[in-house]
Amino acid sequence: MSTDRLLFELKDGNRPLPETIFGLSAGALPSPASTGLSSERWMWLADLLTHPQWGMTAVVDGLHHVCAPVARLCRLTANAIHPLNLRELWAAEQQPTIDLLAMHSPHDSGHWEALTAVRELISDGLDHCHGLDISGVEAVTAAFTAIITAQVADTARATITAATSHAPHPTPVEAPKLPARLGVAS
């Protein structure tokens, strides 16, 4: 699955941005967090939190102390060799995030939405530690909603387009090479 359709929708200014994000959340458009290799997706999710141009910390003020540790956990999860206590590290971030989330309300400059994205990523991290596949759709939808809430429409569209442009692309699959059959020399 590729993010080409999502990028097309984002670049086409005729469709309102909230409708595009709804299409993403409903599964009608591909999520940037569900393309490419698992390690690439986790790295992109880390950037979704802390990238200096399009991450949550660049869009919503005052969230670096919440986003940075979770981004580090995303990067740890991206590595083939995980720390033995990765599940405990993810779990340790859950309650402080929930407590911060309770201090905000929706549409409060994007804080609630960004914290929801962090909470969803923590849930995805815990699911990953339990061997479950994750899509990241909820986290991406919440993050993009935070961008829409915190920025004016044109800036939000440009920010979401930049984030989507940096998403991993599907890895091409090569057809297996058939072994050559050699004849017996006579």
Cβ 96 vs Cβ 118: under 8 Å: no
Comparing CA positions, the residue from 120, 127, 106, 132 lying closest to residue 67 is 120
Domain ranges of the chain: 4-165
Read off the tokens for 67. 């986003």
Average of pLDDT values for 117-126?
97
Read off the tokens for 47. 């950037």
* Predicted local distance difference test score (pLDDT) of residue 154: 94
* Predicted local distance difference test score (pLDDT) of residue 146: 95
Read off the tokens for 90. 């993810």
The rounded mean pLDDT for the chain is 89
* Predicted local distance difference test score (pLDDT) of residue 174: 57
The model's pTM: 0.88
Cβ 105 vs Cβ 89: under 8 Å: no
Q: pLDDT above 70 covers what percent of the chain? A: 90
Average of pLDDT values for 133-144?
94
